[in-house]
Homo-oligomer: A and B are copies of this chain.
């Protein structure tokens, strides 16, 4: 990995002069890059590269007090990975450099993987903090991390402890509500709902959005059903739901996976998705793109950026924000809500 073509003697002064910035800015570019404007940051790094500048050993020692890394659990338990697990990791990796950190994923096949895996990462001194995802009621991680005084930010609200404000999440209520608005605008009048069994905070919030918008638009009572994410079950429940909604109606779904069940049920009865039945998913998964589904894309880039900013503030000893951050998903329109088109495959 040697780069002998570059001078080893460049100093922080040389870099500052070449990039026309102060020494402090060069230092910030290395240690607190989020404080530096993107174009300045890029210019400084060009000069660091060109001059082959290496931070002094003192600065390096300072940096070595921290791993400079944030741990992310890759959940390997259960059948299906979340549709957004991989895209979220991509966004965290993309956002890392601007927050002066990198990501270290970890996984475990143990029956009780979570705390053992987190503990192992800390024991190996690989990370300074964690970003956790898929939070839920009864989640043991927030409490454990707090007791161990390990900083973390959550993608998802910390339901068991409303005093925790270091989280970012998607606004499910706003999402399904917007899906109904869109379907009404497209001319669908009978708009049913396929959700998860009640009791999951994420699912209940998305359901409330459909109820609110249906009431606001004074839509006639439309049927609703629940299913797990398993495609066979979602398809079976969708069969009956489609009987109730009828040809020409629409279905708002709590997830892209559930929408896939409606799509299959529709295909089986020879309906064209879009023309014969309007359909919206939720999450903006690769599967939704592939199937031409109208869906609510989670703003994973902003959520990842916010999580890393929170972690950075916690590590810097700054005060936590007063509230978590709720991000509105983006309605992305596919053929599945176009009543005039041949529809999706």
Instruction: List CB contacts (< 8 Å) of A21-74 with chain B.
Output: 49, 64, 69, 74
Q: Does A112 contact B (CB under 8 A)?
A: no
Q: Does A94 contact B (CB under 8 A)?
A: yes
CA gap between A261 and B102 in the complex, in Å? 38
CA gap between A97 and B110 in the complex, in Å? 14
Indicate how many identical chains form the complex: 2
| Contact A102 B94, beta carbon cutoff 8 Å | no
| Contact B86 A81, beta carbon cutoff 8 Å | yes
Q: A268-B267, A345-B264 are in contact. Are A90 and B76 (CB under 8 A)?
A: yes
**A271 CB, nearest partner CB in chain B, Å:** 11
Q: Does A89 contact B (CB under 8 A)?
A: yes
CA gap between A240 and B272 in the complex, in Å? 19
**A32 CB, nearest partner CB in chain B, Å:** 15
Q: A64-B64, A79-B289, A268-B267 are in contact. Are A104 and B102 (CB under 8 A)?
A: yes
CB contact between A103 and one of B90, B104, B150 (< 8 Å): that residue: B104
Chain B residues whose CB sits within 8 angstroms of the CB of A149 once the complex forms: 1-2
CB contact between A108 and one of B49, B81, B94, B120 (< 8 Å): that residue: B94
| Contact B123 A49, beta carbon cutoff 8 Å | yes
- Residues of chain A at interface, number, CB under 8 A: 54
Q: A80-B290, A345-B231 are in contact. Are A105 and B93 (CB under 8 A)?
A: yes
| Contact A107 B126, beta carbon cutoff 8 Å | no
Q: Does A219 contact B (CB under 8 A)?
A: no
| Contact A105 B107, beta carbon cutoff 8 Å | no
Which 3 A-B residue pairs are closest in the complex by CB-CB distance?
A: A86-B86, A93-B107, A235-B345
With contacts A76-B94, A94-B109, A268-B270 known, what are 12 further pairs, Cβ within 8 A?
A1-B122, A1-B149, A2-B149, A74-B89, A86-B89, A104-B104, A105-B105, A231-B291, A236-B345, A261-B345, A267-B267, A270-B270
A-B contact pairs, 20 of them (CB 8 A): A1-B148, A1-B149, A2-B149, A69-B104, A74-B93, A79-B289, A80-B286, A80-B289, A86-B86, A86-B89, A89-B105, A90-B105, A94-B107, A103-B105, A104-B104, A230-B290, A231-B290, A231-B345, A236-B345, A287-B287
